[in-house]
Amino acid sequence: MLDYFYGVLSGAAALRFLWFLQFAVSSSRGGKGRLARLRKNAILPAKHRDNADILDERAALTDKLQAAGYTLGALALAVWGVMASEVEAHPYLRVALPFLSVAVLSSIGSTLLFRIAAGEATRMGYESGLAVAGLSIVLATLALAVREEPGTWIQAIAWATPAILIIRDLADVWRQADATRTLLA
């Protein structure tokens, strides 16, 4: 079951990476100055650069996503610390630690890596980091539940929930990639 969870988490991260790749390719199309266009679009695509309302909205969104990233990361780190200190007494807790590590690294890491206020790449980075972190926490919880209650109805939930979440994530990334294509067209 853990291999399935790792596969779902890897698939979600790969989807987000492909979205960034699509953004980079779409941003740098054309003749000379590809890198400059990519840099400008990462800050804010041309269609939004002169719109003060969008700039204000994006700045507020950046603040909210940054707060969410730090909060989620801090909570995941606190849980990780408690579980790591209890692993010797309760070895089954070990199954959740890798997922919680990913949650901490992706949520706090996105706040450290993506720093341009109101930037398009910043929005993409926060959304991706928080999506992967949230999925990681769900998978950590399911891994613990399956270890505690093997052979029960929790097994069915543990198989279905990640499948539903990865399908939802695929739809979300598809929608976001389509919006990115439209924005950069």
List pLDDT tens digits, range 94-119: 899 999 999 999 999 998 888 877 77
- List the chain domain ranges: 2-184
For every residue of the chain, which 3-state class applies, written as one string? Answer: CHHHHHHHHHHHHHHHHHHHHHHHHHHCCCCCCHHHHHHHHHHCCHHHHCCHHHHHHHHHHHHHHHHHHHHHHHHHHHHHHHHHHHCCCCHHHHHCHHHHHHHHHHHHHHHHHCCCCCCHHHHHHHHHHHHHHHHHHHHHHHHHHHHHCCCCHHHHHHHHHHHHHHHHHHHHHHHHHHHHHHHHC
Q: Is the pLDDT of residue 44 over 80?
A: no
**56 — pLDDT class (breaks 50, 70, 90):** confident
Average pLDDT over the chain, rounded to whole? 87
pLDDT for res 120: 83
pLDDT for res 25: 86
List pLDDT tens digits, range 125-149: 999 999 999 999 999 999 988 887 7
Q: What is the pTM of this model?
A: 0.87
